[in-house]
A and B are shown apart, each in its own frame.
Chain A
Amino acid sequence: MKLGGIKPVDDRKIIERVLKGDTEAFNLLVRRWEKPIYNFILRMINDRDEAMDLCQESFMKAYRELRTLKDRDRFSAWLYRIAHNTCYSKLRKDAGKTFVELEPEVGEIRMPIVNRLAVESALQQLPEDQREVVVLKVFHNLKFDEIAAVQEAPVSTVKSRLYMGFEKLRSILG
């Protein structure tokens, strides 16, 4: 089972070295996964500095709790789960704050705007659970059962979140 092109056996060997006391080896895992985890968190919370802090927090937690990882071939899914928890703690903390939510323009002239800002803005208009499924599926190539493990939800729920997310994105992006 590959996640994003990286074989689990490579992660497994590094984890074994870390657990034997080779702290430097953990930096190999960080080097490999910091960009995907950072981009996952960034697309969830849309704040670069905050995303960097949460990314750091996720890796620190992973380092502290590495011994609790049962299946060393599923390190990346476990790491995404940690990043998911870190994101949601932040999102829950911001839940009381007022944000301006943009409704998709329906009935007016819409042009298919294909640029990075439009995609970021469109993703932020999705509910968090739908956004997470779309991000993990489209950008991180996780399978439905892996996303279900990250979200601790049934596979059928994950699929319906993806469909609803895609439908809303279609109305926004054209």
Chain B
Amino acid sequence: MSHLSRIAEFVFGELSRSEMAEADQHLAGCADCRSEVDAFRHTQMLLKTSPDVEPPRRMIFEAEKRSFPWRWAVPVGVAAAFVLGVLAVAPIQVQWEDSRVIIAYGKPTEPVAPAPVVIRETAAQPIDYERIVEAVRQSHQEWLAGQMRNLTVANDRRIQRLDSSIAYLESMQRVMYRDTLDNASSIQLLAKSQLQE
């Protein structure tokens, strides 16, 4: 067995069964290689004292949904409210005649009868601006509430991320404190043994 090139494969179990048997036999009679293997295993053991950690947050994949273009909701809502408001209060008629759409403003004129003239008095119908303004105000408020909800969710995520970082730093602080105490006692022992020499 070539000493240096096969030690890693032996330690990590990547030799075939016959090669492993051959390696075991060699190690039984070669102190140098035994010492190399022990050193290798020792380093591996030290590395494994560092365990895996949990990721700070979970990942979730969602299928793409076709979203409603909410940015158009306010202008469309305002326009619709205005049109409905005008239609509700203004004398506008929409007729379909001979494949044509006829939009007429004002009351349809009635044919003048040759009979006696009837005088009609109609009261003027004012546009209800208050109702239109109220409808616009309401849709704007709903849009604002949606924006606030999105901001809150984003801020919650930021806070969560910060919390997990703080928790990690605190645990590292505790480990360092413990290690400092251990090191201090080791230094004391070493100093003592040197004095005795």
Judge: A and B partners, yes or no: yes
Q: Give the interface of A toward B (CB within 8 A).
A: 23-24, 26-27, 30, 34-36, 38-39, 42, 48-49, 52, 55-56, 59, 63, 109, 111-117, 119-120, 123, 134, 137-139, 143-144, 159, 162-163, 166, 169-170, 173-174
Secondary structure class of chain A's binding surface, majority of residues: helix
Contact A117 B40 (CB under 8 A): no
Knowing A114-B46, A169-B47, A170-B43, the reply to whether A35 touches B54 (Cβ < 8 A) is yes
Contact B61 A117 (CB under 8 A): no
A139 to B48, CA, bound (A): 7
Chain B: interface residue total (CB-CB under 8 A): 40
A12 to B19, CA, bound (A): 33
Closest to A55 in B: B55
A56 to B59, CA, bound (A): 7
- Does B176 count as interface, using CB distance less than 8 angstroms? yes
Contact A166 B61 (CB under 8 A): no
**Residue among B9, B42, B59 with most chain A CB within 10 A:** B59
User: Which residues of chain A come closer than 8 Å to B31, judged between CB atoms?
Assistant: none
Interface string of B39-54 (1 = CB under 8 A from A): 1101110111111111
Contact A42 B53 (CB under 8 A): yes
A169 to B46, CA, bound (A): 10
Knowing A117-B172, A117-B175, A159-B5, the reply to whether A26 touches B61 (Cβ < 8 A) is yes
User: Which residues of chain B come closer than 8 Å to A35, judged between CB atoms?
Assistant: 52, 54-55
CB of A118 to closest CB in B, whole Å: 8
Contact A134 B175 (CB under 8 A): no
- Does B186 count as interface, using CB distance less than 8 angstroms? yes
